[in-house]
Structure 1
Amino acid sequence: RMATAPSLAFLCIQSLKLELLRGDNPTPDVYELPSELLDGLVAHLPALALLNFQTHMPFKCWDNYESGDDCLTRGRKRARNDVIGESWKALFKLRWPELIHRVEPPADWQQLYLEKHLQNCVDEAAEVAMRPTFIGRISSISVSDKILRYICHEEHTNCQNCVCTQLSFHFQTFGPYLRCLRLLNVLCVTETCELLRTSKLQTLVLRWIRSEKHVEPLCKLLIQSRETLTSLEFIHCKLSSSSISAICASLHDKDIHTIGIQRFCIKTSSIDIDPLAAPSAFISFLNSVRSLHSLHFCDSHLDRHIARMVFFTLLDSSSNLSSLDLSDNNISGWLSTFSLRSVVGSLSSGKSLQSLCKLNLRESCTCSSSYARLGVS
C-alpha cells in the first residue's frame, strides 16, 4: 500500500518551521498567511521556532493576531487570543506531562516552559562538569539530543550546523525568562555569571557550596541579581564565617535601592560562626534588611550561643520577620538567659518580632523551660 502524499498545507508548515528555526529574519510574508494556516503553523512549532515567531512578529500584527478580526464573535476572538499561550502549554505538557497539573492558573506557559528547559540544561551541564575528565568552558558544554529534540525538532540529530548545540546559546536566547534556578557547586564559577547576565533571578537555590572558591563567584552572581533576587537557599553547604560575611555583604547595600531578600534559608548544612565575633555583615543583614520575612537555619549545626545571638539580634532589629526556623539544631538551653523584660522593652520601642507569626524549634529545645520562657506549652 502506497503512503499518502503529504498535503500542501503540511509541506508549507514544515518549510516555514525550518525557516523559523534558523531564526534571524524569517520572511515577513509568513505573518500575512490566512488565519487558519497561521494558527496551524503556530500549533506545530517547536519551542525555538515559536519563540522566533513571536520575537520577529511585526508590531502591526500583534493586535490583529491577539485580538482577531473585528467581525469575529467574542468567543472566537478569545480563541485567537489564546492560540500562542495554548501552544506553549501544549509544548509543556508534551515534555513534562507529570508536572502539568501542578501549575496553578493563571500561568505564563512560555516563561514556565523556557525556565524549566534552562534548569534541565543546567542539571545536565553539572553532570558533565563533575566528571574528572572534564576540561573546558561551561558555556561550550553540548546540550544532549534528548533535550534538543524538544527545543528544535525531532529530527535534530540529522540537522547540520545547528546553532543550538552549546549551552551558551540557550542562555543567550532563553535567559531573560529565567526566574528560579537550582545551582550545584561545580557551576558556581565566574563563567556562570556571564551566562546569567540577562536573567532576572528571583529565587536561587545553592547545593554543596563547601569551598571559598565557590563563594567568590557566587557573590558576583548575588550582586548581579541584587535588584530582583527575593529568595536565597543553601542546602548541603559548609559555610565559614568569612563566607557568611561575603554572602550577606553581597545581598545588602544600604546605598542601593532593591526589592530586597524576603526569604533566607540555610538547611541541612554547617555554619561556622563565632558568636562572640560574628561577622559585621551578617549582623547588619539581620538588623537592617526590612524586606526579610522568612529566616531559616534548620538542621544547620547551630549551637545555643549562635542561636541566642541570632534571636536577640532580630529582637533588637527593625525587620518585619514573620517566620523564624531554628529546628533540628542542638541548642538546648539557648534561652537560659532569656529575659521577658528585654522582650517587652524591645516591643515597646517598636522593634522586631511584633510581626513574628511562626517560630519553629522542633527537635531543638529539649528543655521544657525553654518553651515556658516563650509562652509555649
Structure 2
Amino acid sequence: MRTPIVLAVAAGLAASAVAAVRKPRPPRLGQQRTGDADLAATVRAAVDDPEGLRGLAVAVIEGDRARGGPAVEPGTPFEIGSLVKPLTGMLLARQVAADVVDPGDRLAAVLPGVTGPAGEVTLAELASHRAGLPRLALDSAGAMVRTWWAASTAGNPYAGYDVDRIVAVAANTEPGGDRGTVSYSNFGAALLGQALAARAGVGYPELLRRDVLRPLEMNATLAATEAGHLPGGRAEGATAAGRAADPWLGAGYAPAGIGIWSTAEDLARLTAAMLAGTAPGADAATPRFDAGKDRRVGYGWFTSRYGDREIVWHNGGTSGFRAFLGFDRAADRGVVVLGNTTRDVDPIGLRLLV
C-alpha cells in the first residue's frame, strides 16, 4: 500500500463571519494558509469566487507521495456526509469477497425486521441506488415538517432516526416504479449498511472501524451517533451565507453519511489505497451499472468520463460542510477537498484532477 509521506493539504482560512444586526455576513476565503505553498497557490487559482468559503483542506495524491502540510489546523476533522457511502459499498464488496453475503441477497434475508415489498430489493440494488427507494424515509407529517424546518435553519434533519426506526419505516415502504434505474437514496444506503452490520453481528460504527478504517489506519475518522461522540478540534460548519450549522447526528442513517467525521490526512490514505487497489473492498469502485450522462456506478462509487479521462469519485454535503474525493487510476492521481460551508467544492476538486 502506498503511504503518503506528508499530508497533502493546502489551506485557506476564511475571515470569521461577523454577525450583523439580523443577518450573518457571508464568509469569504481569506489569505492565510498552511502547508505546501505551491499547492495552496494552485488551489486558490482553482477557486473562481472566494465568497461562501471559510476554510479548505485539500489533499493531492500523486504516485507514491502526497504533497503538503496541515490545513485549517493540524488534523482538523470535517463532517464528510455522503463520502461514507463508498465506504459502505466497500463493506459490501468485502463481505461478498469473504462469502458472507451475495450481491443478489434480498434485504429481508439480511436485515431482520424488514418485511413487505422493500424486503425484496437486493444488496447490490441498495449499493447502486437502484432499489427504487425514496431519498429519505419520512414516516409522518410531523417528520416532513421537521425535515423542512431543519433544511431551512441549517439544523439536523436526521434527529431521532435510530436503527429500529428506519427498519420500521422500511417494513412499510414499497419500492417505486424507478426500481432498476439509478435514483439517489440516503434511505437505501442506510439500510444497506445496517444490513451488513446485522450480518456481522456488530453496530455499523464498529463494522466500519474494524473492516475499513483500522486496516487503512484512518484513526481520525469516526461515526458520531450522539453529541458526546463529536470529535474535539473539529471545524465549525456554516451555510454559504454564514449561518452556523448544527452537526448531523442519527445512528440509523450513519451508513449514508450522518455523523461521519474525517480529515484530509485520513482521506488521503483512503485515496492512495484505492489508487493502489489495496483498500479493503476496493472492488466496490468497479463500475457496474449505467447512471446516465457518461456516468456509471459501482457499490457506492461513481465513475464519470471527462473527455478521455475516467474519474472515480463521490462527494458529500451536510448542513454546514461539503466534501469531494476523486481519483484517476490512469494518471495515478487523486484529490481530496474538504470545506466547512455549504459552498460546493466539487468544481475545485475536478479542476485539480482533470
Q: Which has the higher strand share?
A: 2
| Alignment TM-score > 0.5, same fold | no
> Rg bigger for which structure?
1
Shorter-normalised TM-score: what interval? under 0.3
TM-score by length of 1: 0.23
- Which structure has more relative contact order (CA 8 Å, sep 6+)? It is 2
TM-score by length of 2: 0.24
